[in-house]
Homo-oligomer: A and B are copies of this chain.
Amino acid sequence: MSALLRRATPEEQLAEVTRGAVDLVTREDLLARLQKSYETGVPLRVKAGFDPTKPDLHLGHTVPLTRMARFQQFGHTVIFLIGDFTSRIGDPSGRNVTRPPLSEEEIRVNSETYQEQVFKILDRERTEVRFNNEWFGKMTAADMIRLAAKYPVARMLERDDFHKRFKEGRSISIHEFLYPLAQGYDSVALKADVEMGGTDQIFNLLVGRDLQKDYGQRPQVVMTGPILEGLDARWDPVAGKIVGDKMSKSLGNYVGISEAPEEMFGKLMSITDEVMWRYYELLSTKPIAEIEALKAGHPRTAKVELARELVGRYHGAVAAAAAVAHFEQVIVRKERPDEVEERDLALPAGAATVLLANVIAETGLAASKSEARRLIAQGGVQVNGERATDSQAALPAGDYELKVGKRKFLRVHVRGA
């Protein structure tokens, strides 16, 4: 996390914390609050809510956390709110079978795993970790009725997904109207100055504003950020913007924050230059001025710096430096690494050879035999330094060094049955 050597002005803070923001209600109010905090020294309270589901974060999830970290760089307080109250209830309609209630133990374990991961981005000293069961656990049915009295049905039905389901005759249970109110009440309980969320959260965040007004508080500033594009996104010159799917585990276009340093580094080096600048905007905590300076240099240098920053965030500076060196050696200079993994493999019973495609698939160098055959046909596989071209090639017993793609090496010892 880069440190600012002089105190940032409210205008500078505004520019940094709104990098890539989608909705901002309102910019004037946020500037006014930053100004007041600058004068009084009282930090802003910046809230973001998280479900205590099993966390396994990729870089897409870290976009809001990075924005929170930027607030912290300027001395503001981040409230990492864990929504354990609703998780204890689950989906009481029973329609969502994939969301059973979580036990207290599960919530505790998940929230600890969460914290292990997020404190690689957030500053622990400037973070309040809160659980909303703290106030909802004490609330009575009567309190919930009083809360429900504060919001009209028709306005709740304006929320995009409710509106759509209602129009299409799909069922909405009444309790679903209570959850946005609960989320809004969190802001009241926490006296939030700012709440952040995804663009799909904008309605719920605005409910928070309404409820704060109702409880005599100044309504929070509401800010939503974009969904991060995946590694395979690219610049579309006709559309004049980056196009591509969002980063997602199931699409395979992601970088998990628990991935090995070399893997993370290599993946980040594979993105296009335009996507790199997008990642800088959303994922880097480098100040805008530093990024502008990098834009003046060679894009490859900037890309290495981005990859180094992100690997360093999750694995430390030493691992990041090693990842840079590994990348230069293996990928750029196309050399084999110093250490290569070894595997033993037996010939099929009664056979004298094994298909190269099977070896590649069974050792995990490719996801399937058909992918392995395609890789061989495309010239992406080397055996003992020679490119294999026959997708039906077979290996007798013996030792082989395989290279698949640009970065995968493996030594295989094929044994007789």
Q: Which chain A residues have a beta carbon within 8 Å of chain B's beta carbons?
A: 85, 88-89, 91-94, 136-137, 139-154, 156-157, 166, 169, 171-178, 181
Contact = CB atoms under 8 A, between A and B. Distances in A.
A169 B140 contact: no
Contacts of A166: 153-154
Contacts of A145: 89, 92, 144, 175, 178
A175 B152 contact: no
A136 B143 CA distance: 11
Given A142-B88, A144-B145, A150 B169 contact: no
Nearest to A94: B149
A179 to B, nearest CB: 8
Nearest to A135: B141
Nearest to A173: B149
- Among A91, A150, A178: residue with most chain B CB under 10 A: A178
7 contacts: A89-B142, A91-B149, A92-B146, A137-B142, A144-B145, A144-B178, A149-B174
A313 to B, nearest CB: 38
Given A149-B91, A149-B92, A149-B93, A154 B141 contact: no
Q: How many copies does the complex hold?
A: 2
A177 B147 CA distance: 13
B177 A151 contact: no
Which 10 A-B pairs give the minimum distances between C-beta atoms? Answer: A139-B141, A92-B149, A148-B175, A149-B175, A141-B144, A148-B174, A92-B146, A93-B149, A144-B144, A153-B172
A180 to B, nearest CB: 10
Contacts of A144: 141, 144-145, 178
A134 to B, nearest CB: 13
Contact of A174 (B93, B143, B177): B177
Contacts of A143: 141
Contacts of A85: 142
A307 to B, nearest CB: 45
Contacts of A93: 149-150
Given A139-B141, A140-B141, A141-B141, A171 B146 contact: no
A181 B140 CA distance: 16
A141 B156 CA distance: 20
- Among A93, A141, A144: residue with most chain B CB under 10 A: A141
B172 A181 contact: no
B153 A173 contact: yes
Given A85-B142, A142-B89, A153-B153, A148 B173 contact: yes
A340 to B, nearest CB: 56
A311 to B, nearest CB: 43
Contact of A152 (B147, B150, B157, B171): B171
Contacts of A140: 137, 139-141
